[in-house]
Amino acid sequence: MTTPILLTPGPLTTSARTRQAMLLDWGSWDERFNQLTASVCEQLLAIIDGAHSHHCVPLQGSGTFAVEAAIGTLVPRDGKVLVLINGAYGKRLAKICEVLGRDFSTFETAEDAPTTAADVDRLLHADQAITHVALIHCETSTGILNPLAQIARVVKQHGKRLIVDAMSSFGALPIDAREVPFDALIAASGKCLEGVPGMGFVFADKQALAAAEGNCHSLALDLFDQHAYMARTGQWRFTPPTHVVAALHEALLQYAEEGGLHARHQRYARNCQALLQGMADLGLRSFLPAAIQAPIIVTFHAPQDSRYRFKDFYERVKARGFILYPGKLTQVDTFRVGCIGDVDQAQMRAAVTAIADALHAMHIPLPSIGTPA
Ligand SMILES: *Cc1c(COP(=O)(O)O)cnc(C)c1O
């Protein structure tokens, strides 16, 4: 079986080298495994230049586990979170606050409208009870980019704390902890670092984490404990995702070899450009204007045709070697194509050809070409 190329933003296409790193079994007491974990955390911190200000706390599970852990650990039980929403992942932040019993309010903009620093300034003036602001950097449900640096500045000016879900942007879009103040920034192994899914990590402000003892409602998701145990023993508190750590370590070596963040950003930007250009040539429209489109994932309007069914389209594109993502918008019919993973421009162009062929086979006219014979 030839494996299809995943154009989905996690799990995504990994390199053979990264997958091969999972062929060894590691013991969790093994000194070499502990060194692997320490090395991963060190390399992750270096990406945001955060070694002086932040701890990297890795956590078993998917990205949401780490987001829930960050909110549960860093927001005290009498805190209040302002949740900024312009898509499904922002809504998930609010849901987490609700389930954890943390007081919160929400501010929601349209799915194609970034939250602005002026919005946050106004909202913080209006409600002094807010202690924390929670933001999605790149909202993966559309691909929209929110202005993290400007919002972080305003939050800091108000003396409030920022929690950032940078799951789909970390490693590709620049974030500098020396310039962008935050209490927590969360990402995971299986996104722009091109590891396999299975662990998240939280960059937690050292002072904020030190003050967070006893905040958490959960044993397994307590980042204070997770960090304290790891600092003391060098080991994970509970069974580590050994193969995931080994794969991430190998993926980080390749990240450095490629040229680090700048090179990764450039490759994804080229992928995104090739995709947008190819789809525009077919006459398929993207949902977001270019100015707020992150080079991570692109949402396209589904063809306006009664014969279009996403499932059928998906299967036909898959048979041609590419896995797409369904849309995640409530109002409009869309589908999504990821630009991240171990893929390049040539593969993005091949994906566009597969999409054109699939629509042709479904007898769906392409706006640019007209009805197929
Ligand atoms: C992928 C992602 C997550 C985590 O989702 P999981 O399904 O738990 O891995 C959270 N936030 C954003 C913005 C993401 O892209």
Q: Whose CA is nearest to atom 6 of ligand 1?
A: 63
What is the DSSP-derived secondary structure letter of residue 303? P
Is residue 75 within 8 Å of residue 81, measured between CB atoms?
yes
What is the domain partition of the chain in residue ranges? Answer: 16-257, 260-368
**Which 3 state secondary structure label does DSSP give 321?**
coil
Distance, C-alpha 271 to centroid of its chain: 17
> In angstroms, what is the span from residue 89 Cα to ligand 1's centroid?
7
pLDDT score of 3: 83
**Which 3 state secondary structure label does DSSP give 162?**
strand
Give Cβ neighbours of residue 247 (< 8 Å, ≥ 6 apart). 14, 18, 19, 21, 22, 189, 195, 196
CA atoms of 197 and 16, how far apart (whole Å): 15
> In angstroms, what is the span from residue 2 Cα to ligand 1's centroid?
27
User: In a mutational test of the pocket of ligand 1, which residue from 167, 186, 244, 296 has the highest number of ligand atoms less than 8 Å from its CB?
Assistant: 167
Judged by phi (left if over 0) then psi (alpha if -120 to 50, else beta), residue 138 lies in: beta
- Of 132-136, 334-338, 369-373, which range is least confident? 369-373
pLDDT class of 369 with cuts at 50, 70, 90: low
Instruction: Give the mean pLDDT of 319-348.
Output: 95
> In angstroms, what is the span from residue 362 Cα to ligand 1's centroid?
32
Q: Whose CA is nearest to atom 4 of ligand 1?
A: 63
> In angstroms, what is the span from residue 361 Cα to ligand 1's centroid?
33
> In angstroms, what is the span from residue 72 Cα to ligand 1's centroid?
17
DSSP count for the chain of H helices, then E strands? 12, 14
> In angstroms, what is the span from residue 63 Cα to ligand 1's centroid?
5
> In angstroms, what is the span from residue 305 Cα to ligand 1's centroid?
31
pLDDT score of 373: 43
Flag whether pLDDT at 334 surpasses 50.
Answer: yes
Flag whether pLDDT at 327 surpasses 80.
Answer: yes
Flag whether pLDDT at 367 surpasses 80.
Answer: no
pLDDT class of 10 with cuts at 50, 70, 90: confident
Give Cβ neighbours of residue 330 (< 8 Å, ≥ 6 apart). none
Distance, C-alpha 283 to centroid of its chain: 29
> In angstroms, what is the span from residue 140 Cα to ligand 1's centroid?
8
**Which 3 state secondary structure label does DSSP give 317?**
helix
pLDDT tens track for 29-73? 899 999 999 999 999 999 999 999 999 999 999 999 999 999 999
CA atoms of 142 and 153, how far apart (whole Å): 25
Q: Which fold has domain 260-368?
A: Aspartate Aminotransferase, domain 1 (3.90.1150)
Q: Whose CA is nearest to atom 14 of ligand 1?
A: 167
pLDDT score of 280: 96
Q: Find, among 138, 109, 139, the residue nearest to 123 by Cα.
A: 109
Residue 215 neighbours by CB distance under 10 Å: 19
Instruction: Give the mean pLDDT of 255-259.
Output: 98
Give Cβ neighbours of residue 252 (< 8 Å, ≥ 6 apart). 40, 43, 44, 193, 195
Q: Whose CA is nearest to atom 3 of ligand 1?
A: 63
User: In a mutational test of the pocket of ligand 1, which residue from 65, 115, 140 has the highest number of ligand atoms less than 8 Å from its CB?
Assistant: 140
User: In a mutational test of the pocket of ligand 1, which residue from 59, 85, 89 has the highest number of ligand atoms less than 8 Å from its CB?
Assistant: 89
> What token pair was written down for 241?
């995702």
Strand residues in 146-211 grouped as ranges (E):
161-165, 184-188, 199-205
Tell which atom from ligand 1 comes closest to the C-alpha of 197.
9
Residue 373 neighbours by CB distance under 10 Å: 5
Q: Whose CA is nearest to atom 2 of ligand 1?
A: 167
Maximum Cα–Cα distance across the chain: 70
Give the chain's mean pLDDT: 96
Q: Which fold has domain 16-257?
A: Aspartate Aminotransferase; domain 2 (3.40.640)
> What token pair was written down for 26?
């590691």
> In angstroms, what is the span from residue 167 Cα to ligand 1's centroid?
6
User: In a mutational test of the pocket of ligand 1, which residue from 8, 62, 297 has the highest number of ligand atoms less than 8 Å from its CB?
Assistant: 62
pLDDT tens track for 61-71? 999 999 999 99
> In angstroms, what is the span from residue 67 Cα to ligand 1's centroid?
9
Flag whether pLDDT at 172 surpasses 60.
Answer: yes
- Ligand 1 binding pocket (C-beta < 6 A) is 10, 62-64, 67, 89, 136, 140, 165, 167-168, 188
Burial environment of residue 220 by CB neighbours within 10 A (0 to 12, 13 to 18, 19 or more): middle
pLDDT class of 326 with cuts at 50, 70, 90: very high
pLDDT class of 330 with cuts at 50, 70, 90: confident
Secondary structure of 36-103 in the HEC alphabet?
Answer: HHHHHHHHHHHHCCCCCCEEEEEEECCHHHHHHHHHHHHCCCCCEEEEEECCHHHHHHHHHHHHHCCE
Distance, C-alpha 71 to centroid of its chain: 16
Flag whether pLDDT at 370 surpasses 70.
Answer: no
